[in-house]
Each structure stands twice: as C-alpha cells, then as structure tokens.
Amino acid sequence: MHNSGLDIDRIAFFGRTYTEYLSMFDLDGSVLKRGRILDCPAGASSFAAEAHQLGLDVTACDIMYNHSVNELIEKSKKDIQHVFEKFDEAEHLYVWDYYRNKEDVIALRKKALKLFSEDFPAGFKEKRYIHGELPHLPFPDKSFSLVLSGNFLFLYGDRLDLDFHKACMKELVRVCSGEVRIFPLVGLDAKPYPYLDEILSFLDFAGVKSEIVKAPFEFQKGANQMLKISL
C-alpha cells in the first residue's frame, strides 16, 4: 500500500461545484450576500458560474485563464483522469461520507467543468474570470469583501514553499476588506501543513486576526478545518 498520499506530479486544473464550496467554506446566504467575492485559484470550479446565476457577485481568478476554453476543457479532462488514476493507491486517506464513492467524486468534478466551461467565454468578456498568478493578483487593495482559496495553499505544501505561502497570505489579505477563508489545512498526504504555526505568527505579526475553524466537510481524513482571516 502506498502511504505517502496522493502521488500526482502537477497542480491539478479542475474544480468543485457551488454546493461543495458551501460545505468546504461553511458559507451561507448571510456571508455570500455581503458583497464582492473572489475565488482564487478557482480552477475549473463552477462556484462563480452558479453564483452568478443566483445573482451573486463572484470573480474567479486562476493562472490558467490565459488559455482558450477548449484548451482548459482538454487540460481539465486530462487532470481529472491523472488524479483519479492515482487515487486508488491513496483511497485509505479519504472519508466516504460526503461522497459515496470515487465515481461520485469524478461525476462532480465533470459537472463543475461543464458548468464552468459553459460560463467561461461570456464570463471572461464580462471580467468575471480573470487571469492572475499568485502571489501577485491584478486587483486593487480591498476589492473583495470575501476571498475564498480552496485546494491550493497548504494542500500543495510539498512543492510550494513557506515563503510562497506567506506572500500569498499577504496578497489575499491585501485584496480583501472583510474575510479570507482558506481550505484545507492538510497536504496531499492528509497530514497537517507543517508550517501552520509560522503562518499564524506571520499573520499575527502583520496585525491580522486569524483563527482555525471547523468546516462541515471532510473528504481527506482530518481535512475538516479552514483558516479564517478577519480584516
């Protein structure tokens, strides 16, 4: 049995649905209606697309959004296949509660991709999808009242170093006037991000209030907490 976790060679370009976002980030109407929301990196998530249909003001940002929609669809299909080929070796690191089985997860990743790709061309023109590369985002200070960052920071801590994480924290805080939520706090090996204390001290030193709070969602074992930064 492979014990080191999900053994993938790249940061996957795929995404999650609106309903999965509500659980991961413990969101409800009162939080979502506070104002402009940033999802970064959004990948091929359908959060922005579905939220737009509901009349919410969501901007999605990702390093990959300088590609055409067809390139993004191809890339995402390959990454879904790549990740879930490797998945069986790491299945013991997951809780089968929110999702019934692997097929269920794949179906949701594909649903997110479909809704994302249907919305992307118009949304890109309307500037709801913006190309950007952390840790330098193309938004003025305090542009958003809520910033969501899922399945990137901490999760890929084996290849993104501590300085990169600190720079990203600073940048997500810079573009936000209300609250930043980051999920999960574990790596691909389902172990807690090893430098979380350094990150908390870094935020504290910068005069920013942060706390670790429970999220009503767990897929990777133990990945049921998020970092909430209040500004």
CB 25 → ligand SAM: shortest distance, Å? 9
Q: Where does the chain show beta strands of DSSP type E? A: 37-39, 58-62, 129-131, 144-150, 176-183, 209-214, 225-230
Pick 104 or 204: Cβ nearer ligand SAM: 104
Q: Which of residues 65-104 bind ligand SAM (CB under 6 A)?
A: none
C-alpha span between 227 and 154 (Å, rounded) = 10
Q: Does 133 bind ligand SAM (CB under 6 A)?
A: yes
Pick 50 or 62: Cβ nearer ligand SAM: 62
Q: Which of residues 188-217 bind ligand SAM (CB under 6 A)?
A: none
CB 96 → ligand SAM: shortest distance, Å? 19
Q: Which of residues 37-56 bind ligand SAM (CB under 6 A)?
A: 41-43, 45
SS3 of residue 66 by DSSP = coil
C-alpha span between 95 and 192 (Å, rounded) = 16
CB 198 → ligand SAM: shortest distance, Å? 20
13, 120, 217, 219: which one binds ligand SAM (CB under 6 A): 13
Q: Does 62 bind ligand SAM (CB under 6 A)?
A: yes
116, 129, 152, 193: which one binds ligand SAM (CB under 6 A): 152
13, 44 contact by CB (below 8 A): yes
Question: 133 forms bridges with which residues in the sheet?
Answer: 136
Q: Does 31 bind ligand SAM (CB under 6 A)?
A: no
Pick 169 or 207: Cβ nearer ligand SAM: 169
Kindly tell me the sign of the dihedral angle through the C-alpha atoms of 89, 212, 51, 166: negative
Q: Does 5 bind ligand SAM (CB under 6 A)?
A: no
Pick 43 or 157: Cβ nearer ligand SAM: 43
C-alpha span between 159 and 193 (Å, rounded) = 12
55-59 contact pairs (CB < 8 A, 24+) = 56/32, 58/128, 59/127, 59/128, 59/129, 59/130, 59/139, 59/144
**How distant is the alpha carbon of residue 163 from its chain centre?**
19
Pick 57 or 62: Cβ nearer ligand SAM: 62
Q: Going by DSSP bridges, is the β-strand pair 209-214/225-230 parallel, antiparallel, or unpaired? A: antiparallel
Give me the residues that bind ligand SAM (CB under 6 A), please. Answer: 11-13, 15-16, 41-43, 45, 62-64, 133-134, 150-152
